[in-house]
Chain A
Amino acid sequence: MSEEPKAPMKVREMVVLRVTAKMLIPFILLYALYVQFHGDFGPGGGFQAGVITAAGLILYGLVFGLDQLKRAVPQRVLEITLAIGLLMYGGTGWVTLLLGGNFLEYGYLAQHHPVHGQHYGIAMIEGGVGVGVASGLLVIYYALAGRGRR
């Protein structure tokens, strides 16, 4: 007897996936923040944090469907945050230029204490990279997963 391939399962049937994804996603996002802010002192940084954020949200999209993910994170918002991430990176460079240093010479961000300026600069750059990478990956996922619709 030949079995017909059954229809893809609906979200309601995947109880295990639904429950565990809901349990894990907050921790994945929290871990992304940890990696983001740990980047000053050790391994980690904006790119990895952005990738982990996007992975957590894409997990949500895989389990609950693209429409639910788009309701949580609209594509419009992503297009704006993508630009904001790039702006934070480039803007930090231009601010140091305006304060009298070279492009991205962080020391000029805090006039009295160059080391503090370097802290601020790295935090800004990593924040921009994180936001940009996360929203960039999500936009790519939207484009690929939404292919063939409409």
Chain B
Amino acid sequence: MALALDILSWIFLLSGATFAIIAGIGVLRFPDVYTRSHAAGLGDTLATLLVILGLLLQSPDWMVAVKLIMVLAFVWFTSPISGHALVKAAYAHGVKIDCEEEDAVSH
């Protein structure tokens, strides 16, 4: 039982770490602000979910589990919102979109 939990927890942790690394590569290699923040935001939400699921399986009592779920809720709130604020500020200050089509995003 404990072994199965450990294995499941390792699977969650490792896949979460993989998604975090992929998001990091995306942040480094995508061409402009918008796509980079897209990579960071998407990677963050999924990687955080997987890592915290892995940690939940290891939590010794309910208190730790509740705290972990609260951390998850907080990160799920703040990470997309900070990405939204960043992109909105960039767009408001006229950062160009690196894209073939003109006016891919228009009002």
Contact = CB atoms under 8 A, between A and B. Distances in A.
Interface stretch (A12-20, A70-78, A100-108, A123-131): A12-20
A17 B88 CA distance: 11
Contacts of B92: 5-6, 8-9
Interface residues of A, number: 13
A11 to B, nearest CB: 13
Nearest to A24: B77
Interface string B65-102: 00000000010011001001100100011101000000
A5 B93 contact: yes
23 contacts: A3-B94, A4-B94, A5-B92, A5-B93, A5-B94, A6-B92, A6-B93, A8-B92, A9-B88, A9-B92, A14-B85, A16-B81, A16-B84, A16-B85, A17-B81, A17-B84, A17-B85, A20-B77, A20-B81, A24-B74, A24-B77, A24-B78, A27-B74
Interface of A: 3-6, 8-9, 14, 16-17, 20, 23-24, 27
